Amino acid sequence: MHTRTLGPAGPARLEVSALGLGCMGMSQSFGAVPPREEMITFLRAAVDRGVTFFDTAEVYGPFHNEELVGEALRPVRDDVVIATKFGFAFDDDGNQTGVSSRPDHIRAAVDGSLRRLGTDSIDLLYQHRVDPDVPIEDVAGTVKDLIDAGKVHHFGLSEAGVQTIRRAHAVQPVTALQSEYSLFWREPEEDILPALDELGIGFVPFSPLGRGFLTGQVTATTEFGEGDIRANLPRFQHEALQANLALVDLITTVAERKEATVGQVALAWLLAQRASIVPIPGTRRLERLDENLGAADLHLTEEDLADLDRASTSVPVQGDRYPEAMQRMIDR
């Protein structure tokens, strides 16, 4: 597996596999949750294949995903990079109640994550969503203290806007921003990516395959079952889905030319955008993992990239990324 680095030059740089693994779906959001032992075996198989970058969060489950990732990776802890996130509040029953990045809440969240992961330190700690009630300088300062204490190694943000990124970075260097980016959603190109280039911050696209949309496996007749978040996402509603599938048809033309899958082309396109980009496609199936990892060796020519750019810009995405309540949590 090829490697890439995230973060500004110097000690804040973080080396990871060119493709990471998003672990959320192993505990929630995409239908029935697979057996725990099956996912432990799967995660260890990913390590065997060269994946060193694993993404989790306290809210996934909630809490169970960190326990799963921690148990699976404990035998190879020194060889992998674990990223997790804070930023949500929970009631006594573990239900999410909103965002919270108060300094005392961050410290408690990190202690909980360390315990569940079974590790002495977190390699990359993201603020999961910006808290409008807490100055980002206070958030960055708290993470800086945690880094000084040895509990955290690198600071990240998720779904943060440019001004938030700049203000945080001035207090504690930001190693990576995690936000959605793909041929299906290119908004970060407008303001986010230029700012990250300027500051030397890495970019970790989540949903790089459009929550399965860019695998070519979703069709106009696909039914999303109970527990599948896509059933409630505007982009996947029937009329929007039918319109958006035109993009997959165009990408398929390039995929056939490259003798690759649609998903591999979509991931290779992301990797070709910048050396500082490390996508984290999520999957629970070994054959899909092997397919995704094959994208790291897929070379796209200038002609291929131009065709993909035209395809993406010619099909306006129909439907918002999230329902309205979740959209309001995105900092722009």
If one counts every other C-beta atom within 10 angstroms of the C-beta of residue 103, the result is 14
Q: Which residues of 116-155 are buried (b: 16+ CB within 10 A; e: fewer)?
A: bbebebbbbbbbbbbbeebebeebbebbeebbeeebbbbb
Residue 287: burial class (beta carbons within 10 Å; 0-12, 13-18, 19+): exposed
Helices (H) and strands (E) in the chain, counts: 11, 11
Treating both helix axes as pointing N-terminal to C-terminal, what angle do 302-314 and 262-273 enclose, rounded to 10 degrees? 100
CA separation (Å) from 290 to 24, 45, 46, 68, 261? 18, 10, 9, 21, 12
Q: Which of 43, 62, 155, 154 is nearest to 112 (CA)?
A: 62
- Strand ranges (DSSP E) for the chain? 3-6, 14-17, 21-22, 53-55, 81-86, 88-90, 96-99, 122-127, 152-158, 174-180, 202-206
Whole-angstrom distance, CA of residue 192 vs CA of residue 175 = 14
If one counts every other C-beta atom within 10 angstroms of the C-beta of residue 162, the result is 18
- Residues β-bridged to residue 90: 96
Which of the residues 60, 126, 181, 322 is marked catalytic?
Answer: 60
Kindly state the tokens that stand for 266.
Answer: 């979509």
Residue 278: burial class (beta carbons within 10 Å; 0-12, 13-18, 19+): buried
Whole-angstrom distance, CA of residue 193 vs CA of residue 273 = 10
Q: Give 90's DSSP letter.
A: E
Q: Nearest 5 degrees, angle CA 61-CA 19-CA 304? A: 125
- Would residue 60 show up in a list of annotated catalytic residues for this protein? yes
User: Which positions are catalytic?
Assistant: 60
